[in-house]
Amino acid sequence: MSRWRMPHPVVLLVIGVALAAALTWIVPAGAYERAVDPETGRTVAVAGTYAPAPAAPVGPFGVAVAVPRGFVEGADVIATILFVGAAFFLLDKVGSLGRLLGGLVARLEGRERLAIPALVLFFGAMGALENMQEEIIAMVPALLVLGRRLRVDAITVVGASAGAAVVGSAFGPTNPFQAGVALTLAELPTLQGGGLRLAMWAVGLSVWTAWLLRHARRHDHDAPGSPEAVLEAASGRDVLNLALLLLPLGCYVVGALRWDWGFNELSGAFLVGAIAVGLLSGLRADGTTVTLLEGAQAMLPAALLVGLARSISLVLSDGRIIDTILHAMATPLGGVSPTVSALAMVPVQALIHVPVSSVSGQAALTMPIFIPLADLIGLSRQATVLAYQTGAGLMDLLTPTNGALLAVLLAAGVPYQRWVRFAVGGWLLTTAVGIAGILAALTLGL
C-alpha cells in the first residue's frame, strides 16, 4: 500500500482558495469600520465598530477570477522573484557562483558545519532588518550548491536561510514590517522594548541553530556527496561579480529603513547589477538578455505560488468574513486575566495568520482591535505587540498560505509535509522564547 503524499504546492494552494470560498457560504459576513492611520498611512480596523454585513458568498467563477487577481495583487513580489532569480542564475551561468562557493568550502575544510550558524546569522539579520522572505527564493539554487559541498540535505539549507529569516523577522527589533508597524499602531516608541527584543532575537536564533544542527547531524546519510571534480579557483572578476549583486541588496536594506523602499526598488537594483555582471563577463547585450530570460523562466513556478497565496486572502475579503473571524477570536480574550489574555493572543494571532498571510496587513487588522482590548483589561501594550510578533511572525514557518515558504520548498525540492515534520519542533521551541519574552515584559512592567 503506497503512502499518502501531500499534493503539489500549486494544488495545495488551489484547494486553499476553494476552501476559503466555501467558508464564505458558511461563516456570517461582518465588518469593522476602516480609517487611515495618520502615523503609518495604512487603512486599519476601528475597534468597537464590528457589525454584521450583507452576505457575499464567493461562487465558482469568483474563485477562478480570484486567481489572476492574486497575481495582480502580488505583482511587485512576483517581479522581484523573477528579476532577483534571473540575476543569480546569470551569476551561476558565467561560472562565478560555483568558483566562489568552491573557494568558501575549501577554506572551511574540516569545519564545514561552521557555515550553518553563519548562514543562520546572516539570514536572521536580514529578516530583522527588512523582513526578508521572498528574496530568498532566487537564492535557493546557489544555496543548494553550497549545501551539497557542505554535505547537508536540502531541509538544512532551507532552515538555514528561509527558516532563519522567519525567526529573525519575528523577533527583530528593527523590522519595519512587523515590529515597526505594530509598535506604531500601538502608539509606542519604535525603540521601546528594543533590548528585550534583541535578546529574544539572539536566543531565538540560537535555539533555531541548535535545532537545525541536530537535524543536520541526524541526516548526514541523506546529504548528497560533494562533487569530485577539481574546482577552478575564484578570480578577482568573480569577486567583483558577486559584489555587483550584493550591492543592490545592501542598497535595498538601507532604502527600506530610510526611504520606504519596496520590492520595485529591489527589482530595479538587481536588474542593474545583473546587466553589469553580464557585460563584465563578456556576454554582451544579447547574451545577457537571453541568460536573464532563461533565469526568469526557471523562477516562474516559484513566482506563481506567491500569486496563488494572495488569492486566498482576496476570496476571504470578497466574502466579508475576515473581520468575522477576527471578532470571534478577539472577543473571548476580554473575559480572562491580563496574563492569560497575553498568552492566549499568541495562538489567536497564529491562527489569524493562516488566512491573513501578510504580517504587516495582520498588524493593521489586529492591533487596532487588540490594543483597546489590552487597555480595557489592564494588559500592557508592549506585551500585546510581542504576542502578535510571536504568533503571526513565527507562524510563517508552517502556514501553507505563506507563498514565499512554499516557493522556497518547491525550488529546493523539499515536500511540504517533510518540512513541517522538521520545522514544528523548532517552531515550538522558538514560540517558547516568545512566550518567555512576553512574561518578561509583564514582569518588567514594559
pLDDT at position 229 over 60:
no
Contact 244, 280 (CB under 8 A): yes
| Torsion sign across C-alpha atoms 363, 366, 368, 371 | negative
**Residue 37, domain member (yes or no):** yes
Residue 421 CA to residue 287 CA, distance in Å, equals: 43
Give the count of domains, the chain: 1
**Residue 2, domain member (yes or no):** no
Interval 323-333 mean pLDDT: 83
**Residue 320, domain member (yes or no):** yes
**Residue 261, domain member (yes or no):** yes
pLDDT at position 105 over 70:
no
What lies within 8 Å, CB to CB, of 373 at 6+ separation is 47, 330, 333, 334, 341, 379
Q: What is the pLDDT of residue 14?
A: 85
Interval 231-244 mean pLDDT: 75
**Residue 265, domain member (yes or no):** yes
Q: What is the pLDDT of residue 227?
A: 47
Contact 337, 85 (CB under 8 A): no
Q: What is the pTM of this model?
A: 0.77
Per-residue cell: 76: 511587485
To the nearest 10 degrees (0 to 180), the angle between helices 322-330 and 359-377 is 30
Full DSSP string of 150-167: HT--HHHHHIIIIIHHHH
**Residue 3, domain member (yes or no):** no
Contact 2, 27 (CB under 8 A): no
pLDDT in tens, 375-405: 878 888 899 999 999 999 999 999 888 888 8
List 45's β-bridge partners, or say none: 34
- Domain span at 424: 9-49+57-444
**Residue 1, domain member (yes or no):** no
**Residue 334, domain member (yes or no):** yes
